[in-house]
Structure 1
Amino acid sequence: MAPGGPGYRRMSFALFLAGVATFALLYSTQALLPLISGDLGVTASEASWTVAASTGGLALFVIPMSALSERFGRRTVMTASLAVAVIVALLVPFAGSLTTLVVLRAVQGAALAGLPASATAYLAEEVRPKALVTAIGLFVAGNSVGGMSGRVITGWVAQEWGWRVAVGALGVLAVACAVAFRVLLPAPKHFTAGSLRPGVLFRVVRGHLGDPLLRRLYAIGALFMTVFGGVYTVIGYRLTEEPFGLPQGVVGSIFLVYLVGTVSASAAGRLVGRLGRRGALYLGGGTTAAGLVLSLGDSLVLVLLGLVLITAGFFAGHAVASSAVSKTATQGRAQASALYQSAYYVGSSVGSTVGAMAFHAGGWAGTVGVGLLAVVGVVGITVLGSRAARVAAVQV
């Protein structure tokens, strides 16, 4: 498929909706952490486990789910994953304790593991190579819309009726997205079933981990998400406290900033065309770092501008790195994408937990410090990639 061709719009919209449902569910408790802390009598770092559990579950199960998609098909696995995730979403509002909530969130994350790697593998097989970055950018844009809408909806609903009703409403939205996804997504035409034998899976995974470029891309995805996970896990606490003291509904609306991520992810293809992959990664890292520094100000305008830059830089960098993984892997694409997603969501779990701990110990400056260290890592790895490319060119 290619832009303007048969089925492309249906495919793009279906995967966009899948991205919306995935991010809305995966981070459904993130904007509600102050309310969860108050209701269940737990600290910020303890409440952050409701986010870390879902992303950690996804990180652990994304490779096994990718293996299932190699055997049973991308569309089948994505459909089953969404079905289980939305069922769990309707149970989450009834969690009576933090432990129960964390367990349900971990199960939900494990179910959602079937989406990211299978979606990028589906695109790599069904979309023409020149349109791949743009197509993956649209899927990532769906992630940003899901993350935004989930937080905005839960913020305002929770302000009136509490966090339990808020996450229940999000579950209903996810059900609608899941049904529309299954109806719209075209049947794959270029899928070839692979093997479920552990030995075959191990060799494929080992081959990907032995590729220096893929290793760098995995690390970059993890570091970008460390920044993003830390910032958006903690920002609700910062904005509900002094000197801001914002109500929950307004805090939820702050996540409208995700619209910037929708634009930057969709523009990733053009950025790579103009700057090259490494140039686009430098730009994403620099934009993220500038946003982190700006967010240190006590002015709400500076904080919002900082969030805009952090979000734009993150989504651009993520779209560039994830599409590069799909283009680099010539076989076992689902496993290559799964390894990227696993690293990416490990970064989210680390960022949400460490970012909350840093906030508890040193305030917002502590969270920003963790983010800046991660950006330095992105830039350093990209520099190493540039040097490796120059050495390879000289040898040729």
Structure 2
Amino acid sequence: MSKKAEIYIMYFCAGLTLCVMYGVQPIQPVFMEILGISKFEASLFTTSILVPLAIASIVYGYILEKFSIKKILVFAFFAFGVLELMFAFCNDYYFLLNIRGLQGLIAPAALTGIMSYISTNTSKENIASAIGVYIGITILGGFIGRFLSGLSYDIFNSWRVFFAILGVVLLMSAFMLTKISSKVSVSPVKPKLGDIFKILKFRSNALIVAYIFCLFFSFTAVLNFLPFELNKLGGNFSGTKTGLIYFGYFIGVLVAFNSNRIVSFFGNAPKAMFFGAIVFIFGLFFLEFDSFWIIFCAMLVVCFGNFIGHSIASGYINRINDTHKGIANGLYVSIYYLGGSLGSVVPSFIYSGYGWKIFLISIGILVVISLIFSGLLSVKR
């Protein structure tokens, strides 16, 4: 198999991984009704797969170095497939949640292996564009998984069909991965606690990770609880409409591929991050309206703001850390997913207790805090 074909398989598997991670999100209201669980319990389907990603860059480096990428990926996608099929035919909430937790433990290994394989098998002059395509594919995978799970629910009147099909495709991908080269191994970063504190001693690093924690906490909160609110609008759940709400992810692809141009337009990264937070807040205001299409347009704005903030912040922390780039990037990813995992569950108490309006106000306050962090980045010391 040619290297080009192997890279395409990696991109395909990256998209599948994001389908596994987020396919459940738009139909969480369905699980709430069918399983007789609360919003908090339904939201844990997303939380359970994000938590391992928050600790992966710190812990997984010591595990993954012992195996070749091929072995890691074949095992990961075979396990993904088996667990997805089990998920599709299970009826018990706690068993379903445990399956999601196991998939969460596998996801960091899969994503680390895929990125390592791409970077190792790509020439230095093309590695930036290859990683850019990888980021774009993960964004698209997040949308496709959400949209297709909602669409299949409307077509088949069953949440199981999407996950059964996804399970079969995952097993097929595991077979394809047996054909790739086995010579490549993972060289993960293995940070020590002292290294992390050294990174955070630099004011700019601390402000960047604080910024992205608040921003992704807020973004995940909106994505995770908006389906419950949409369920109230028409009286009946529409998986297709709910999945369509995530269409703004396509904007994320455009932003990811044009992050350097965005920074050039604003003059520097902190100003671009500041702008992203402002756009996010502007979009939040329109999520209060009781109209699907206004909410749809508002989510385009929210996604635009979030992806500007994320794409610029991730590039900025890499650019300002010359000597400890790997550790700084790993810390960024951990804080990013820590914000996401908490954002997927903590706001459920506000939403369930005080309603959508107070929920949006609380999220808006957190985005304002991220706005302050990005503003402080622009202040020279």
- Name the TM-score class by shorter chain: 0.7 to 0.9
Deviations 1:241-293 (A, max 9, x none): 13564522332233333222222222223212332211221222122111111
Cα separation, 2, equivalents of 1:243 and 1:16? 37
Aligned pair 1:60/2:52, yes or no?
Answer: no
Aligned pair 1:157/2:149, yes or no?
Answer: no
Cα separation, 2, equivalents of 1:76 and 1:218? 33
1:386 Cα offset (Å)? 1.7
Cα separation, 1, equivalents of 2:181 and 2:247? 27
1:170 Cα offset (Å)? 2.7
Cα separation, 2, equivalents of 1:51 and 1:131? 31
Aligned pair 1:316/2:324, yes or no?
Answer: no
Out of 345, 355, 358, the residue aligned to residue 363 of structure 1 is: 355
Number of equivalenced pairs: 377
Aligned residue for 2:278? 286
Out of 80, 83, 88, the residue aligned to residue 85 of structure 1 is: 80
Contact 1:117 1:341 in 2 (8 A): no
* The 10-residue stretch of structure 1 (78-87 or 319-328) with the greater mean CA deviation from structure 2: 78-87
Deviations 1:128-159 (A, max 9, x none): 58973x55443232222111111111112223
Contact 2:150 2:238 in 1 (8 A): no
Change (3 A) 1:217 1:31: same
Cα separation, 2, equivalents of 1:273 and 1:78? 38
Contact 1:154 1:170 in 2 (8 A): no
Task: Give structure 1 stretches of 5+ with no counterpart.
Answer: 1-5, 392-396
Contact 1:153 1:170 in 2 (8 A): no
Change (3 A) 1:123 1:301: same
Cα separation, 2, equivalents of 1:266 and 1:157? 30
Normalising by structure 2, report the TM-score: 0.85
Cα separation, 1, equivalents of 2:148 and 2:97? 21
Aligned residue for 2:199? 208
Deviations 1:321-343 (A, max 9, x none): 22333444445655433322221
Change (3 A) 1:306 1:64: same
Aligned residue for 1:350? 342
Residue 133 of structure 2 aligns with an amino acid whose one-letter code is L
Contact 1:137 1:268 in 2 (8 A): no
Cα separation, 1, equivalents of 2:181 and 2:232? 44
Contact 2:61 2:188 in 1 (8 A): no
Contact 1:70 1:194 in 2 (8 A): yes
Aligned residue for 1:172? 168
Change (3 A) 1:371 1:143: farther
Cα separation, 2, equivalents of 1:258 and 1:218? 22
* The 10-residue stretch of structure 1 (364-373 or 324-333) with the greater mean CA deviation from structure 2: 324-333
Aligned pair 1:262/2:253, yes or no?
Answer: yes
Aligned residue for 1:248? 239
Root-mean-square deviation (Å): 3.3
Cα separation, 2, equivalents of 1:362 and 1:26? 28
Change (3 A) 1:130 1:195: closer
SS at match of 2:289: coil
Task: Give structure 2 stretches of 5+ with no counterpart.
Answer: none
Aligned residue for 2:138? 143
1:77 Cα offset (Å)? 4.7
Residue pairs, 1:78-117, within 5 angstroms: 80-116=75-111
Normalising by structure 1, report the TM-score: 0.82
Cα separation, 2, equivalents of 1:43 and 1:83? 32
Out of 270, 273, 290, the residue aligned to residue 264 of structure 2 is: 273
Change (3 A) 1:335 1:65: farther
1:385 Cα offset (Å)? 1.7
Aligned residue for 2:22? 27
Residue 274 of structure 1 aligns with an amino acid whose one-letter code is F
Residue 52 of structure 1 aligns with an amino acid whose one-letter code is T
Change (3 A) 1:187 1:359: farther
Deviations 1:189-220 (A, max 9, x none): xx895797xxx744444433444333333222
Aligned pair 1:385/2:355, yes or no?
Answer: no
* The 10-residue stretch of structure 1 (332-341 or 378-387) with the greater mean CA deviation from structure 2: 332-341
Change (3 A) 1:369 1:36: same
Deviations 1:43-78 (A, max 9, x none): 112111111111113223342223444565667655
Contact 1:66 1:338 in 2 (8 A): no
Contact 1:21 1:178 in 2 (8 A): no
Change (3 A) 1:247 1:130: closer
Identity of aligned residues (%): 20
Cα separation, 1, equivalents of 2:9 and 2:202? 32
Aligned residue for 1:220? 211
